[in-house]
Amino acid sequence: MKRRAFLQQTTALATLASASSQASNQTIKNTGPIILSTWKNEKANIAAWESLQKTGRALDAVEAGARIPEADPNDTSVGYGGFPDRDGHVTLDACIMDEKGNAGSVTFLQHIMHPISVARAVMEKTPHVMLSGEGALQFALDQGFKKENLLTETAKKAWIEWKKTSKYEPKINIERHDTIGLLAIGNKGEISGACTTSGLAFKMHGRVGDSPVIGAAVFCDDEVGGACATGLGEFVLKTLGSFLIVELMRNGKTPQQACEEAIMRIVKRYNYKEFQIGYLALNKKGEYGAYAIQKGFNYTVTVDGKTTVIESGYYMK
């Protein structure tokens, strides 16, 4: 092997190893299209990347990525297979936002496999941003979405077991997954974001967290960048975490610094030791960062068709 080729290969391998192994407390830079998602969601990222290769649009990519866990019966925190509320109903929330500032959202939606696609339809086919409950379901049916039973046998058994004690207790990093948030930069450099969830397991009937709320779970500004959130949504709502992160980046902070500041807003005000929040941010330069309250949050990055899971930095040591 020639010396130049050897050095190039060595440098590339070192860079990849560094990105894969770190519990990152530093902003990482990329140029060109990119897919980011919360947690270990390689399949979602791969679907998003494949969509990006077909259409070039970041919006298409984040929708395609979100649809993967929505249809996965083994994912107990998103879509089909999601754990129900305390009354046994699977209720779904989702939102999506494009580079032009357009947004769509559904809350308390039942019986529809892909709430993220309903949210996009709200954005593109109505004058509204958010539809909820029966209204969201009727809209979805009018748009041709199929009504389905989303309560799997596994989720039903877990609910029946929970009813023996009926104890509500959010679990930190449960199975190392939760609500999925996605961010993408498309072929033209535009940014979009999405979020989808079945919410907290065994929540009160009617509870809605941050996932369908623009500015809480997801926010994008094509002049600056985007951010998304995962974890106990009540505290993301109380601090409008994603909007906060984008505004911090607008005022000069890197994605990593902005995520850390957003976590500190929660830490300074609330009893943070019993729950988890994780933030993920991406700016228009292709720089990205993440931060969480507790150890255990990770995120997935796809660049040039290569997908890597990275451990996030965290506040509690």
Backbone angles phi, psi at 234, to 5 degrees: -55, -35
179, 197, 230, 239: the active-site residue: 179
Supply the pLDDT for residue 29.
75
Query: Which of 23-37, 93-107, 187-201, 289-303 has the weakest average pLDDT?
Result: 23-37
Best CA proximity match to 39, nearest among 313, 312, 260: 312
Domain assignment present for 45: yes
The C-alpha atoms of residue 278 and residue 290 are separated, in whole angstroms, by 7
Domain assignment present for 210: yes
CA atoms within 13 A of residue 143's CA, in its CB half-sphere: 20
Domain assignment present for 237: yes
Supply the pLDDT for residue 20.
41
Domain assignment present for 16: no
Given a cut of 60, whether residue 151 has pLDDT beyond it is yes
- Determine the structural domain holding residue 284 and report its residue range: 27-314
Given a cut of 90, whether residue 21 has pLDDT beyond it is no
What percent of the chain is helix, strand and coil (3-state, nearest 5)? 35, 25, 40
Q: What is the pLDDT of residues 35-80, one digit of tens each?
A: 999 999 999 999 999 999 999 999 999 999 999 999 999 999 999 9
The answer, as to whether pTM is greater than 0.95, is no
**Stretch 241-268: mean pLDDT, rounded?**
98
Residue 214 belongs to domain with CATH number: 3.60.20.30
Domain assignment present for 74: yes
The C-alpha atoms of residue 129 and residue 213 are separated, in whole angstroms, by 10
Domain assignment present for 6: no
Whether the CB-CB separation of 58 and 184 falls below 8 Å is answered with yes
If one counts the domains in the chain, the total is 1
pLDDT confidence tier of residue 168, bands split at 50, 70 and 90:
low
Domain assignment present for 35: yes
179 among known catalytic residues: yes
As to burial, measured by CB atoms within 10 angstroms (0-12 exposed, 13-18 middle, 19+ buried), residue 77 is: buried
Domain assignment present for 13: no
